[in-house]
Amino acid sequence: MIEWTQDKHDYLVSLKTSKKYTWAQISEEMSKKFNRTFTVDQCRGRWRRSAEKDVQEGFKETYNVNPDGTHESTKLLALSERQKKDEKYILNAHGFDPDEWKVHDVKSTMWNQNSKENGMLTLYSSKLTAKKRENEFNWDKLIRVIESSPPVSPVKFTEKLPEKPRYLNIPLFDMHFGPATFEYYKPLLQELLKILEKQYKEILFIIGQDLFHNDDFRGRTSKGTEIDKYNMETMWEDAKLFYITLIDKALKSSPTVHVMYSKGNHDESMGWAFVKTLESVYRDEPRISFDTRFKERKAILLGTNFIGTTHGDKNRRNIASNFSVEFPELWAKATSREVYMGHLHRKRVTRTPSEIVIDEKGVIVRELGTGNVTDDWHDDYGYTMAHKEFEIFEYVEDRKKHIYCI
């Protein structure tokens, strides 16, 4: 018969909780330590009768920050089979936000605890190593932001239209929010709001075409090219404030507003997601339509004016032919046809100093300039001489009437 003194008891606990020994090895270590024979049954019996309960009742939660930047947490948890496999549940149970942290390693060791109120409970000593999410785009979080964006109440249009209806096209290409900010674009916004004081039959916004400088949180473009990195949340909020201000004004200036997403080479994913967010915000407004298709070339009629758009970073040789073949019905109805591109911003003094104009096969192709800020890359390579301006196009029913350079 073994007399279980406190030192024997404590040594048994230290061996068992180390997770390094089998019961056979524990009995051997106990025998060596105290110079007498401890059988497996004696050690296991003592553990089940007394030591296990002591460990559970005296369980201490731990939290450590490791040299590699990971955080380590140990808690005693009641877990179901499903919860043991649910990383989000484990993170939350340890006090980590799953949007900000990810599981690096997790281990759960089962303990049985006898409770007078609840009987035998299955608990787990849960040891979690969590790692901070860095430069990872959280699509679940973006979807929640999009879905939670409050809808804008419909705006009643009561103004009388002019005798000759006007149409407005606002193609703000290559804005590159990131190096450019909302504060930088405030003067542009004010000029646009002045133009929108007029009344229009229809207003078109072409949004995308490198609206953002980066396409992810790591400072990369759509193709994965690493460039200067900017804060995506700041870019997003700046662009949202800029465009919601404009669209709200447009709904007061016209009975019909169109928003067309156009792909760019810097921000295919983010540009598309941003326009989808606007679509969610204005989901209760029947007077606004959205084209969020992920297509390289798109077109629309304003009156009988054919408006085509493409970024211009891909095939540029057969622009007129591409649009005539891909949009035959719109092409046939049109009395004037124009295609608007961004991307290169080459300058030639033609009709305006900020664009290249090519009149080809019945369509005018405009390679528009941009008023965005000069980033470090363009500055380093000396691409600083281009005219900085955007162009806004106003039409009557069958032709272009005005070009606003701002």
β-strands 167-171, 202-208: how paired?
Answer: parallel
Residue 9 is inside which H or E element, if any?
helix 6-17
Distance of CA 30 to the CA centre of its chain: 58
CATH number of 139-405: 3.60.21
Residue spans of beta strands (DSSP E) within 116-235: 119-132, 167-171, 202-208
Phi then psi dihedrals of residue 106, to 5 deg: -145, 135
Q: How far apart are CA 279 and CA 269, in angstroms?
A: 15
Contact 77, 124 (CB under 8 A): yes
Contact 274, 306 (CB under 8 A): no
- Identify which of 184, 236, 178 has the alpha carbon closest to the alpha carbon of residue 371: 184
Residue spans of beta strands (DSSP E) within 84-240: 101-115, 119-132, 167-171, 202-208
Contact 200, 402 (CB under 8 A): no
Q: How far apart are CA 119 and CA 117, in angstroms?
A: 6
pLDDT of the chain, 406 residues: tens digit per residue: 788 887 888 788 778 777 678 999 999 999 999 999 999 999 888 877 765 555 555 567 888 999 988 999 988 787 777 888 899 999 998 989 888 889 999 988 765 554 444 444 567 778 899 998 876 667 777 787 777 878 878 877 766 666 689 999 999 988 999 999 999 999 999 999 999 999 999 999 999 888 999 888 888 887 888 888 899 899 999 999 999 999 999 999 999 999 999 988 778 889 999 999 999 999 999 999 999 999 999 999 999 999 999 876 666 667 778 888 999 999 999 999 999 987 554 443 334 444 456 766 678 888 887 877 765 544 544 444 455 789 999 999 999 999 999 8
Q: Using the Cα atoms of residue 190, residue 192, residue 198 and residue 203 in order, give the sign of their dihedral.
A: negative
28: exposed, middle or buried (Cβ count in 10 Å: 0-12, 13-18, 19+): middle
Contacts from 85-93 at CB under 8 Å and sequence distance 24+? 90/126, 90/128, 91/128, 91/130, 93/126
Q: Which two tokens stand for residue 191?
A: 């000029």
Q: How far apart are CA 13 and CA 278, in angstroms?
A: 61
Contact 192, 182 (CB under 8 A): no
Residue 246: predicted pLDDT: 97
Contact 264, 174 (CB under 8 A): yes
Contact 263, 295 (CB under 8 A): yes
Residue 270 is inside which H or E element, if any?
helix 268-281
Residue 403: predicted pLDDT: 93
Q: What are the boundaries of each domain within the chain?
A: 6-57, 62-132, 139-405
